[in-house]
Structure 1
């Protein structure tokens, strides 16, 4: 349906600037919620406590800052990518440098996310990691290549519903296996698993209130204010007001979503799902295989794949957009809208191959994948 409605590069990459703010808001949430979030955040809660929840409150602060100070500049003039405005102020080389940083960090970070997707897929199906990686990317690239940003956004909404329903179903079943929701939380509280705020004034503690608010705000300001994958969605809304609604609303929804994922991890601990598992990232996937009824297990796995596909599809479209508008068009002088549409689709295939190769390079890593992804982002987001 969407493939037949793509007339030029603007349709393909910016959805004609007429996407509703609430759809963009939920698409932002689905996009930033990859499979690594779904499997790694519950693992953190199962192994530690709820202090990770301090981070999304920082995310909300960062998004408010982006809405107030950065978004007005993006809605001035004709912005093709998040880095178009840099050319007018600092020159072409600065624009290309910023876009190049985005391309490299997005490819690295989303390679980790693709690898995270392969973990539960391999556990459930018995496939090898390479086959699981290829499956996740190939399935996603089909509708991304054909339909562009509009297809990505509307499919994101469906995928968000699938992975949240899977998480809520897991939450309920884990609570019943652990003796009931109330009893599980009482045990968790007695064990210190519901500890959510770390008041220590330390910037080296992984999850403290100070670190969560400052680090979360800075990371979110960079990821949602300078990363083209997020800015691209905001540019697809009809107006600055709609873009502000979308980005601030996404911060509120993300907090609620993290509460769900962390509670899933806490109840997995209460159900004993962390016993005999060496990596926190394996707790949730193995619980799916060993404890969930067949239908619910299939739903939970579908949720993981949905979370992965929403991130990968968004990444592919934004990588292709930046490659086309920030590099190909200026360097070749070819700016015909129909031609750039064709080029953008080819870049989608190129970046799909890059993500598959990058994902395979992260095999054997013992650190929680969500922390690997956040560490990669922190390397260059400060500069952006």
Structure 2
């Protein structure tokens, strides 16, 4: 089967419907509070689904099946840590946010350490989102690029050109309702689009299950869930991301940082308007995410059986991440392919719209208002916020094209979900460390926080495989991505405390 005219019609109708429904659910926007926080509060269950839709996006739909196809089920160990981390956020972080009216996650840092620390954290958030969401947007372009390639209308273009067209289409549609509708449109469309893409995944499982080859069985090692890793040397142990201890501890600390300090997700919880509602949304999101990861890893195993375990190159693909997209556009019945590709767009747009709104919110409140917009009216602020949203849409498109270029180069490439999580984990260490330093200790001041924050970011450069690691003599100490946040935050806290102690002794 091939992608048909009917499938294209399904996708076009879906995209137009999303833009229309997003505008209808947004309500009237008269101020930045309406635009970024949804006015008087939103239902916790809607925010719960918005959190899940935002953080999983197309990376889950496309790349998690690829992780299972190329490996096994040990990625599930990380989801246990995710649940533990969210419980910590709900009990210790959210009460701090709801003590006063905090418009962004970084207002707490300003109150504790001053405007300089807030600006540093907010800027780091923006850089993280720029890179991590560039990866997500690139991931979304994979199925659309395959559709364009198989459709035959763009046969004269290479892969990069197809990705550029795909990225432009996705960004343009998402910007329509995000630009006008604000956070209310984002949350409600996240809810709708999560239902769509989970439904698409269930349909794919049904079709796969009924078309598995009879002469191929799944190897036992593909079903491995727990990997203790005790047979490895210390250096090898800390390099492996999916051993039990690394996955649970690393996943918990990563979740503390992502859901406790990243404004992309904190903004969702603040939109509930109350602490109890925010806590319910936060904790339940961890459980739903665990189930969702299990669903998409299962798809990966079924794909492995369907294609009898052959490599991506043998299937004519540029990367393993394209395997599920290939199945969708080539093997599903007419109309169903279009529906599931629409589900992919749903996953993508839910994440992209959330990123655009949170980036605009942080830019407006943390960088623009304190310095350039103190005397603005609500109307002027709203107009500026929309312009900032549009600007971030263009910037994220460029970031996605950059990662498309990198991922299409020769050589061994990581699954894009690992690339995206690794980028986020790197900067989350500094953010989480700064928050913990301010929440748990009274003596460190803004100088100690700034010293610790930037020391943590720099220290990780020497522990992550990359250009700095390659310049070191001998074999450097490289660590797995789930440990980036843990070690980064520890360096920030310890450095901040040491700096505080040294200043205390100096004044004695």
Q: Place the TM-score, normalised by the shorter chain, in its bin.
A: over 0.9
Paired residues of 2:25 and 2:188 also in contact (CA < 8 A): no
Equivalent position of 2:426 in the other structure:
379
Equivalent position of 1:207 in the other structure:
242
1:324 aligns with 2:364: yes
Q: State the shift of 1:289 in Å.
A: 1.9
CA–CA distance in 2 between the matches of 1:273 and 1:219? 35
CA–CA distance in 1 between the matches of 2:56 and 2:222? 23
| RMSD of aligned alpha carbons | 1.5
1:167 aligns with 2:201: yes
- The match for 2:144 among 106, 117, 121 is 121
Alpha-carbon distance change, 172 to 4 in structure 1, aligned in 2, over 3 angstroms: closer
**What stretches of structure 1 of length at least 5 have no aligned partner?**
none
1:66 aligns with 2:96: no
Mean Cα deviation higher: 169-178 or 254-263: 169-178
3-state DSSP class of the match of 2:75?
A: helix
- The match for 2:416 among 354, 369, 382 is 369
Q: State the shift of 1:10 in Å.
A: 0.1
Equivalent position of 2:446 in the other structure:
none
Mean Cα deviation higher: 166-175 or 327-336: 327-336
3-state DSSP class of the match of 1:266?
A: helix
Trace 1:16-165 onto structure 2 (pairs within 5 A): 16-126=39-149, 128-165=162-199
1:235 aligns with 2:232: no
Paired residues of 2:194 and 2:347 also in contact (CA < 8 A): yes
Paired residues of 1:30 and 1:311 also in contact (CA < 8 A): yes
- The match for 2:210 among 166, 172, 176 is 176
TM-score of the superposed pair, with normalisation by structure 1: 0.95
Equivalent position of 1:312 in the other structure:
352
Mean Cα deviation higher: 44-53 or 202-211: 202-211
3-state DSSP class of the match of 1:177?
A: coil
Equivalent position of 1:250 in the other structure:
285
Equivalent position of 1:290 in the other structure:
330
Paired residues of 1:2 and 1:148 also in contact (CA < 8 A): no
Trace 1:258-297 onto structure 2 (pairs within 5 A): 258-272=293-307, 274-278=309-313, 279-297=319-337
Equivalent position of 1:348 in the other structure:
389
Paired residues of 1:134 and 1:356 also in contact (CA < 8 A): yes
Task: Write out per-residue CA displacement over residues 98-119 of structure 1, whole angstroms, 9 at most, x where no aligned residue.
Answer: 1010011011110111111111
CA–CA distance in 2 between the matches of 1:234 and 1:103? 19
CA–CA distance in 2 between the matches of 1:109 and 1:348? 17
Paired residues of 1:203 and 1:210 also in contact (CA < 8 A): no
CA–CA distance in 1 between the matches of 2:38 and 2:376? 18
TM-score of the superposed pair, with normalisation by structure 2: 0.73
Task: Write out per-residue CA displacement over residues 39-70 of structure 1, whole angstroms, 9 at most, x where no aligned residue.
Answer: 11001111111111111111111100101111
Paired residues of 1:36 and 1:369 also in contact (CA < 8 A): yes
3-state DSSP class of the match of 2:223?
A: coil
CA–CA distance in 1 between the matches of 2:377 and 2:426? 36
3-state DSSP class of the match of 2:369?
A: helix
Paired residues of 2:26 and 2:184 also in contact (CA < 8 A): no
* Greater Cα radius of gyration, structure 1 or 2: 2
Q: State the shift of 1:33 in Å.
A: 1.4
Paired residues of 1:274 and 1:280 also in contact (CA < 8 A): no
Paired residues of 1:2 and 1:146 also in contact (CA < 8 A): no
TM superposition outliers: structure 1 runs of 4+ over 4 Å: none
Mean Cα deviation higher: 331-340 or 341-350: 331-340
